[in-house]
């Protein structure tokens, strides 16, 4: 079997995300709060939408807001799904 081939299509797909998980000077795992993500169908259209959980740093424990991206499918038929940040609209 050939090896899997992966291509980074994040920006093409509309996923403009910077994950925060601790600072550059993290010495111990307790110095940071990790990130995460989940695929779900929040709008019930059958496409997997993406929920991203942000981490934080010791100096800024509130961290940036989590983000929800709605999957609008592949509108141009080129095999790249389009995601729209609906965080603000969904509260």
Pure H helices in the chain: 87-90
pLDDT at 70: 98
pLDDT at 80: 92
pLDDT at 21: 72
User: pTM, whole model, 2 decimals?
Assistant: 0.78
Candidates 56, 38, 57; CA nearest to 48 is 38
Over residues 12-26, the pLDDT tens digits come to 999 988 877 766 666
On the question of pLDDT at 29 being above 70, the answer is: no
Over residues 44-67, the pLDDT tens digits come to 999 999 999 988 777 777 778 899
pLDDT at 71: 97
CA 74-79-81 angle, 5° bins: 40
pLDDT at 86: 97
Average pLDDT over residues 30-42: 82
């Amino acid at each position: 079997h050939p090896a899997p081939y992966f291509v980074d299509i994040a920006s093409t797909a509309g996923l403009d995300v910077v994950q925060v998980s601790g600072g550059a000077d993290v010495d111990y795992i307790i110095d940071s709060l990790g990130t995460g993500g989940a695929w779900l169908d929040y709008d019930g259209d059958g496409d997997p939408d993406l929920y991203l959980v942000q981490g934080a740093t010791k100096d800024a424990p509130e961290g940036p807001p989590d983000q929800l991206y709605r999957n609008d499918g592949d509108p141009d038929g080129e095999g790249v799904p389009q995601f729209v940040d609906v965080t603000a609209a969904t509260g």
